[in-house]
Structure 1
Amino acid sequence: MMYGIDNQTGQALSGIDHLKQSITDILTTRIGTRVMRRDYGSRLPELIDEPLNGALRLELIAATAEALARWEPRFKLTKATPSRAEPGKITIYLEGIYLPDGNPIIMDGITL
């Protein structure tokens, strides 16, 4: 099991709560912005200002799948559904498997 620190409270974090924080960090970090790990993150931040149409939905799903497959070994993505939260923001709904215990999990409301 991985342990970490809650980025809001500074308290210890583990299990699915740590996974959710990690996934949010991966998806909201623009590639090239981490000094010691330039390839960390996802392409989602560069896509959020585009008009939300069928082509962009596919691109958002692909960018989500690529980033999670590369950076989050504890999670197997089974479904990603993007929607427009408000102008300039996109919300991603995720379904997948938490691999350490094999249980399905849902993450609703990762907003970029």
Structure 2
Amino acid sequence: MDLDPQTGGTVTGWAHVVQSLQTLMRTRLNTRVFRREFGSGVPQLIDAPMNSANVLALYVAVAEAIDVWEPRFELTDVALEANAQGQFTMTLTGAYLPNAHLGDMSTVSDDTRTVKVQATGADVWSTA
């Protein structure tokens, strides 16, 4: 359970996973005072040229961060779309494991879940 920054209400279940993924993608490494290792390398790669090496580095940064910090989402695919204005959208596909943080690795169902997050800058993220 967490708080929704827009409404102040509580967020649970799949909505909490989506919010956690968003936070994880926009948080730079070494910026949380009491948890320096939290975050991802994604913010540092946003303004980098989108050549094949940097796109691969972005995929790796996403996969590593989710593997370490969000056990409730088992990532199976990452797709990236970018435009000339510097905005990009990442589509994260995977399985929802609602109790993985408690050690239960079973899924709710066999369907895959998709999260689209987009950035217009290193610290400006939203769900697409």
Q: Which TM-score applies when normalising by structure 2?
A: 0.79
Instruction: Tell me which moved more, 75-84 or 36-45.
Output: 75-84
1:10 & 1:56 partners in 2: Cα distance? Answer: 37
Q: Kindly tell me the number of residue pairs found equivalent between the two proteins.
A: 110
Match of 2:113 in 1: 105
Q: Quick check: which has more Rg, 1 or 2?
A: 2
Deviation at 1:62, TM superposition (A): 0.4
1:9 & 1:91 partners in 2: Cα distance? Answer: 24
Equivalent of residue 30 in structure 1, options 9, 25, 28: 28
1:85 & 1:11 partners in 2: Cα distance? Answer: 34
Match of 2:103 in 1: none
What runs of 5+ residues in structure 2 fail to find an aligned partner?
99-107, 123-128
1:24 & 1:85 partners in 2: Cα distance? Answer: 20
Deviation at 1:89, TM superposition (A): 3.8
Secondary structure of residue in 1 paired with 2:47? coil
1:87 & 1:32 partners in 2: Cα distance? Answer: 28
Match of 1:93 in 2: 91
Amino acid at match of 1:34: R
Secondary structure of residue in 2 paired with 1:21? helix
1:51 & 1:85 partners in 2: Cα distance? Answer: 12
More strand as a share of residues: 1
The one-character-per-residue Cα deviations of 1:20-64 (angstroms, maximum 9, x if unpaired) are: 000000111000110000000000001111111211111110000
Identity %: 40
2:37 & 2:11 partners in 1: Cα distance? Answer: 25
